[in-house]
Amino acid sequence: MAEQEIMPIEAASRQRLDKWLFFTRLTKSRSIAQKAIESGKVLVNDRRVTQPSHAVKAGDVVMLSLDRRDVSVRMRGAGSRRGPFEEARLLYDDLTPVPVPGERLTPFEQATREPGSGRPTKRERRETDRLQEGWGGGDEE
């Protein structure tokens, strides 16, 4: 298998931001990368970038806001293809802080409740009714 060509930092080669995000496997497709950039979810060196053709070079810090997490990486070099994860990982240094559990929840996760909180379920109501019947709490005529 051929090694992925990684440009050294000295070469300071530049690459389109959308291609680089795709090559690093931070986005699933180049079109998704373009949409994220155009919607303002990508910052390069603390500046919002809205052009997918923006050129990035080695040493640039790229911050990407994804659905479930925020990613911050420092670019090591430009890639030539979208390879496996091991190759893609060589293109950047991960600067992302450790995520806090429950920090960013999806709408589905926000809608779910903890078991035992709020209104009882049908099963819990039946168990309560059985308990009350056993203690003579039921209405018997």
* 21-72: pLDDT as tens digits: 999 999 999 999 999 999 999 999 999 999 999 999 999 999 999 877 889 9
Question: CA 39 to CA 86: how far, in whole Å?
Answer: 29
The domain of 28 spans: 9-99
In a domain, 122, yes or no: no
Region 6-26: mean pLDDT is 78
The answer to whether the Cα torsion of 73, 25, 64, 110 is positive or negative is negative
Question: CA 75 to CA 89: how far, in whole Å?
Answer: 10
For residue 86, what are the contacts with CB-CB under 8 A and spacing of at least 6? none
135: confidence class by pLDDT, cuts 50, 70, 90: confident
- 71 in Cβ contact with 63 (< 8 Å): yes
pLDDT of residue 137: 54
Q: How many folded domains does the chain comprise? A: 1
Give me the CATH number covering residue 72. 3.10.290.10
Per-residue tokens: 7 = 């440009």
Residue 9 has pLDDT above 50, yes or no: no
In a domain, 57, yes or no: yes
User: For 89-113, how does the pLDDT look when each residue is reduced to its tens digit (9 = 90+)?
Assistant: 999 999 988 877 766 777 777 777 7
Question: 55-57 and 42-44 as β-strands: parallel, antiparallel, unpaired?
Answer: unpaired
Q: Which residues pair with 56 in a beta bridge?
A: 15
In a domain, 111, yes or no: no
In a domain, 130, yes or no: no
Q: Which residues pair with 16 in a beta bridge?
A: 55
In a domain, 3, yes or no: no
User: For 112-123, how does the pLDDT look when each residue is reduced to its tens digit (9 = 90+)?
Assistant: 777 767 788 899
